[in-house]
Amino acid sequence: MSPYDQAIGQICSTASMTHNLSQCTSLIRRASAAGAAALFLPEAADYIASSASETVSLARSVETSPFVLGLRAAAKSHRLPLSVGIHEPSTSGDKVKNTLLWIDGDGEIAHRYQKLHLFDVEIKDGPILKESNSVERGPRIEDPVDTPLGKVGMLICFDLRFPEPSLALRHRGAHILTYPSAFTVPTGKAHWETLLRARAIETQSYVVAAAQVGFHNEEKTRRSYGHGMIVDPWGRVVAELGGEDDDKGRGLDEGEIALAEIDLEYLEKTRREVPLLRRTDVYPEIA
């Protein structure tokens, strides 16, 4: 089986869907020109609001969202599948769903996942965020979706801190795990790369983590870490974009893409040579 190239896109979403769509369609054109087989975009690519009430008021259904309709048209035009995080209205209407869509090369929504774990944190001298004020928890882990790259298991941002969903997706046949994110700067500096590499190593899967970066509003009350990356099944970072300045000296990049190879033969070799034989006689299988 031949290797495929996948691209991750990194943007800085604002409350303007028009602005954010322009950023994303530009990345679609660049990823297509670079020969990517698919493009992975961050969480909340359609918008990042300044308050819980604004988050709810901006949400649109996928049938009417100009952002989603624009991405579907671009995916079809470039014959490029997309993974992209968006907001959808909840059934009750007083919250939103934090959703990850798989849009195929025909521009059709082929798969979706709703974020399980919500980011409710209070960091000393850092951000205080309570996602549950505006977001409805997802009901289940979805089975991996078949794509040109392999079987993709969908997860979002704060799901990264919980190994159980990634292990369940590996059990269900996933080759690639996605963590589109808008990580805060303090938690990003502390845990982003470590957790991504851990999920890749323990599942022997590719991990694709497209990220938001920079300040999302003029008041500078919301800021994302960046450093979107791709990790291979051995735990090696094989592609990385920029972000907040840190000890590695990587600067801030906005509206960028990075590509890496997805080699399913290498993945199967890793799994074959280091078999993870679980002791399900001692502890339960995560399925």
Instruction: Return the active site residues.
Output: 43, 115, 157
Q: Give residue 169's identity as a one-letter amino acid code.
A: L
Please give the Cα distance from 126 to 138 (Å, whole number): 27
* 3-class SS string, 124-181: CCCCEEEHHHCEECCCCCCCCEEECCEEEEECCHHHHHCHHHHHHHHHCCCCEEECCE
Q: Residue for token digits 């078999």?
A: 275
82: its two tokens: 């997309």
